[in-house]
Amino acid sequence: MADQPIVIKRIKKGEHAHHGGAWKVAYADFVTAMMAFFLLMWLINTTTPEQKRGIADYFAPQSISQTVSGAGGVLGGKVMGQETARAGGATSMFQKNSPPSKNSSEKSAQNGSSQGGSNSSENASDTNANAEAQSSSTQNGDFAHAAEAIRQAIADNPDIAQLSKQVMVDQTPDGMRIQLVDQDGRPMFQQGTSTPMPYTRKLLETIAKVIDRLPNRVSISGHTEGKAFTGPRGMTNWELSAERANAGRAILSAAGLNSDRIYEVAGKAGAEPLLPEDPNASANRRLSIVLMREAPPVPVGHQL
């Protein structure tokens, strides 16, 4: 036993690499993205066209300046051409040093006076254009805030919150347009009459409180579907739409809107359908209220 060699057996344990948890983060991001995708698809299928239009209007950059220049600096994205040369005295740098004759002096004087007149007219037109652009940008911002205030006021009123889908607010070249649209089973006026429904009156009173904060004039028009209508005393869609527009005007005035701000009250019958592809659709029956765009005030002493 003493001569037997001693054998030492050493066993090395295999080292397993640590994979970490990076794959869990990637998997979580993938699951979150898929959930957001399916949620988006569900919202697209459940929202109405009016709600989609309202969401698009909410995120539209209405308050951004409508300038078309690439830069808003001194040159405004323009290059030094004939127009910019005429604005100052750049032409004098290229005149010859030889003394002008008498005739040339007279001609230059005449040209200078005519050029001065044209420069003044161009400067006046540029000033008016800048004022109109600034006024348009300001009005777009005011309209955007008013539209959001109308939507919020309707949502906060439990009596008319369910009517939010029937109120369409957008901006047109004429101004901010507010449309109260009929829906199957929920009209804005009693059938064949100009008598507003109780919730229509509350809607108009809510809208009046918002538009009363702006100084713009108001245009009100009534619209019907294209189907022919004959009521008492030979009433047609023209008389019916006009009477509904006037009923809307009376409610707005009673709610605080100054009568001096009413620009026009018109009945359009079925001449301007909301859905031209379906003239007889109930959505074509509506009351339209437009806050008109106003031109900037004319400077004192300015002659048109």
Question: Structure pTM?
Answer: 0.56
* Amino acid at position 175, single letter: G
DSSP state string for 98-149: SPP-HHHHHHHHHHHHHHHHHHHHHHHHHHHHHHHHHHHHHHHHHHHHHHHH
- Whether the CB-CB separation of 201 and 219 falls below 8 Å is answered with no
Q: What is the pLDDT of residue 58?
A: 74
Residue tagged 């009673």 (tokens): 254
In this structure, the chain runs to a length of 304
Each domain of the chain, given as residue ranges in start order, spans 134-292
* Amino acid at position 179, single letter: Q
Q: Which distant-in-sequence residues (6+ apart) come within 8 Å of 135 by Cβ?
A: 294, 295, 296
d(CA 279, CA 237): 13
Residue tagged 């690439």 (tokens): 70
d(CA 225, CA 85): 57
Q: What is the pLDDT of residue 263?
A: 95
Q: Taking the C-alpha atoms of 39, 40, 42 and 45 in order, what is their torsion angle to the nearest 10 degrees?
A: 170
d(CA 25, CA 4): 59
Provide the residue-wise pLDDT of the chain in tens; the chain has 304 residues. Answer: 567 777 777 776 655 555 667 888 889 999 999 999 998 888 888 888 777 777 777 776 654 444 444 444 444 444 444 444 444 443 343 344 444 555 555 555 555 555 555 555 565 555 555 555 566 677 888 899 999 999 999 999 999 999 999 999 999 999 999 999 999 899 999 999 999 999 999 999 999 999 999 999 999 999 999 988 888 888 999 999 999 999 999 999 999 999 999 999 999 999 999 999 999 999 999 999 999 998 655 444 544 4
What CATH fold (topology level) applies to the domain 134-292? 60s Ribosomal Protein L30; Chain: A; (3.30.1330)
Q: What is the pLDDT of residue 90?
A: 39
Q: Which distant-in-sequence residues (6+ apart) come within 8 Å of 171 by Cβ?
A: 57, 62, 140, 143, 144, 147, 177
Q: Which distant-in-sequence residues (6+ apart) come within 8 Å of 85 by Cβ?
A: 91
